Amino acid sequence: MGFIKGQVPYSNWKKGQRLTRQESIYAQCYVCNGFESVYCGGENSCTLYRYSPFRRESIGKGVEEA
């Protein structure tokens, strides 16, 4: 079984390592999605939604800068 995006940054954070901004976002999405890689439905409940790599709009296009 391969790693899910966000799993490695989350594991590194648990070990006490510092994360970059993007790694932090991936780790938060990983935790918020129940430790699975799924489409994000947190449009109204997540302050990081606009940066989420799992947004429906960002799949296949990359995250757009605001």
pLDDT tens digits along 13-42: 999 999 998 898 888 888 887 777 666 667
- The sign one gets for the Cα dihedral 6, 7, 10, 12 is negative
Q: Is residue 63 very low, low, confident or very high in pLDDT (cuts 50, 70, 90)?
A: very low
Please state the pTM of the whole predicted model.
0.65
What span, in angstroms and rounded, lies between the C-alpha atoms of 50 and 12? 24
Find the mean pLDDT for residues 6-10. Answer: 89
Contact by Cβ (8 Å): 27, 53: no
Length of the chain in residues, anyone?
66
What span, in angstroms and rounded, lies between the C-alpha atoms of 5 and 44? 22
